[in-house]
Every structure is written in C-alpha cells, then in structure tokens.
Structure 1
Amino acid sequence: MSDSALRVVVVEDRRSMREMLDQTLTLEGFEVVTAASVADGRVRLARGADAVLADLRLPDGTGLDILDAARRLSPAPPVVLMTAYGSVDVAVEAMRRGATDFLCKPFDTRLLVERLRLLTRGPAGGVVADGVVAVSVAMREVVDRARQAAAAPVPVLLAGESGTGKEVVARLIHAASPRAAAPFVAVNCA
C-alpha cells in the first residue's frame, strides 16, 4: 500500500457497478482493488485494505462473509455494505456483525466518497482502529495494549470510572481477537 493513497477493496459481482466504483474512487485519489466474488475478495483482503466496500449479494456468498474476513484482519478495516435489496433487518444484522455503514443502491457516489474518507481518516495524526480514533500518545498506547491483549488467550479485566471507555476498549479487544466471530456481550457491573 502506498503512503499517499488509501487502499479500498471493492467486492461487487456486477461488472458495470464494479467498474463505475473503480473509476469514481480512483479519480478521488483512492487505490482501488476490485473483486467479483467472496473468494476473490478474500484474496484481495489478505493483501491489506484501508477500507472495504462490498455488495451484500454475491455469487458465492454474501457481503457478510467479506465482513467476517475483514474483521479477522489486524487492524480491521472499516466495511461498508451495499445492496439493492435493503431492509431494516438486513441493515441491523450487518451493523450487529460489525459493518461500519450500510448503503442502499442506487446511492450518491459523492456520499460514498465522503464516508470512505471519514472512515479511513481520523483527526490529523489520528490512528483509526475498529472505530476507535487515537490521537494522543496515551490513547495510541491503549490501542496497542488492546491489540496485544486480543492476541493472548487469557481473560482481560478493564477497570475504571463510569464513562471512561471501558466498553469501547473491550469491543476493540474482541474485534481484534480470534473470537471476533463470536457474539460480544457487554456486562455492566455497576
């Protein structure tokens, strides 16, 4: 991946839509890698991605399969799912499984570009990890330690006052762990 262009993996089975997204995002300065199937998308994802844009209906699976593959990466890139067959239930399921956004086709490509830029760039100098923007040295250290904890097969205790972000860090650990495909259940012991 180059330092200047953010790499977006686009998984879309319709050739015309895939080419349109490729051209649009390339003109906007993104490095675009396209795939027409879940299998091809997984191969492209394995080479790295700053963001993922996937159709919900694919010939050999669904965009949720791409979402699951992306969540296993470290750091996990934001995933935007798109579909021409949108329903509230599908959108809720996608968000529950970790999708960052959900777009119904047809959509305004300017909106897509804006969302991708927002998702891949935090504030100046910020590091984005599974939805957590870490700008300060202290928060970057928290994100690094959370990633280390995620790799260890041991329980993690997060303690702190109410409102300090314990659940956010717990979700970050869960998303980066081998258990990311399992449900995350938040328990408030207060």
Structure 2
Amino acid sequence: MLPSDPPRVFVVHSNVAAAVIDFESLPFSTRYADFERSILEQFDPEDDVLVLEWALTAPDARGVLDAATQQVPATRTLALTPSVPADDPIDRGADEYLVTPVTADQFQSTVEQLVIQHAYEVTLDEYFRLATERAVLKNELDSGVDVGDRYEAVTAQLCACRQRAETLRRGLSETGFDRTLRKLLDD
C-alpha cells in the first residue's frame, strides 16, 4: 500500500543507461542528478528515495550518502552496486542496496518497500506521540481539568493512526518490517 502520490525518486548515477533500469517506465516521479551542478544543491526534502550509484567516484558515493543523511534525513537511500561491495552500503547508512543488473520489478518493489517503511515509521512516531498526549489528557481529565473534547479528539486520531499503521504493516515485507523496527528502536 503506497501513499496516493507516485514516489519521488532522485537518481544519482553517472550513466543511467548502464544501470539497466528503465526508470521512465516505472510508476515514479523520477529526476536525475545534473553532474554539472553540485549534488548538494539538488537534494530535495520532497524526494522519497535517493538512488545512488555506489561505484560513483566524482562525487564520491559515500560523501553523497553522508550529505543526504544530514540534509534530507527523511529520504530513503537505495544504493546500486555492480557487485557485492566490500564496504556494505547499509553499514554506511543506506537503507537498502541492490546488485545490478536488476529487473524492473525488483527495483520497483524495493523502492515501494522503502516508501512504505518510511510511511510506517512516520505513522508509528505519530502513534506514540498521540498515545503520550492521550495519557496526559486522561490524567488531566481525571484531575478535573476540562479537556474532555480534546481527549476524545486525540483518542479518535489515535484510533485512525492505529488503523493506518496496520494497513501499512500489511504492505511491508518481513525484512522491511524487521528493518523498520530496528530503526525505530535505534532512534
């Protein structure tokens, strides 16, 4: 279950044709890095996934990953690599990596899983925030403070958030779910 808008994908790859993925045929809103300009100026917080050529040397892929992690932390990173790398992109902060060549279906599925993982994380963060707010409001309500309307509104939001989380959870692969939980526990 993807959000209603097509995922926004930013591709930082020195030779898109060599990536063996027809990005244009996929149901994404895709834009490509302009290597005549600084990559740093091209990051957009609206992007859902950064597709990064792991073998990129100019600019260095690891530097691009580090900068993206700092400048657009909500953007998920998918590293494309021609072979299993000695320095694991996930250990360096990427959310996932694929060894090329990959099929369009495998690429699409991976991007969709990253988008769902992020939506699930955001939803769980909201759920925990609402649960905390409801607990405080319940305490205030029990103490005689007139917060009944707000308590009911937060309770309704919490219920809707729980349903959204359940729907997103059903869309996650087992690996995606495990990775999301690990990330949430690390935060």
* TM-score normalised to structure 2 length: 0.58
Higher relative contact order (CA 8 A, sep 6+): 2
Q: Distance in 1 between matches of 2:125 and 2:17?
A: 43
Aligned to 1:24: 25
Q: How many residues align?
A: 137
Structure 1: which 4+ aligned runs deviate by more than 6 Å?
Answer: none
Could you tell me how far apart the structure 2 residues matched to 1:20 and 1:116 are?
Answer: 13
Structure whose alpha-carbon radius of gyration is higher: 2
Does residue 1:127 correspond to 2:115, yes or no?
Answer: no
Give the CA RMSD over aligned residues: 3.5
Counterpart code for 2:6: A
Q: Measure the CA separation in 2 of the matches of 1:169 and 1:121.
A: 14
Q: Give distance in 1, aligned partners of 2:77 and 2:125.
A: 25
Superposition deviation, residue 5 in structure 1: 2.2
What SS does the aligned partner of 2:6 have?
Answer: coil
Q: TM-score, normalised by structure 1?
A: 0.57
Partner of 2:127: 138
Is 1:101 aligned to residue 96 of structure 2?
A: yes
What do the CA deviations read for 1:42-72 (whole angstroms, capped 9, x no partner)?
3221463111111012241332222112211
Which residue of structure 1 lines up, in the alignment, with residue 80 of structure 2?
82
Corresponding position of 1:4: 5
Contact 1:78 1:100 in 2 (8 A): yes
Mapped to 2, the partners of 1:74 and 1:140 lie a distance apart of 22
| Aligned-residue offset at 1:99 | 0.8
Q: Which has the higher helix share?
A: 2
More strand by share: 1
Unaligned runs of 5+ in 2: 132-180
AA paired with 2:112? R
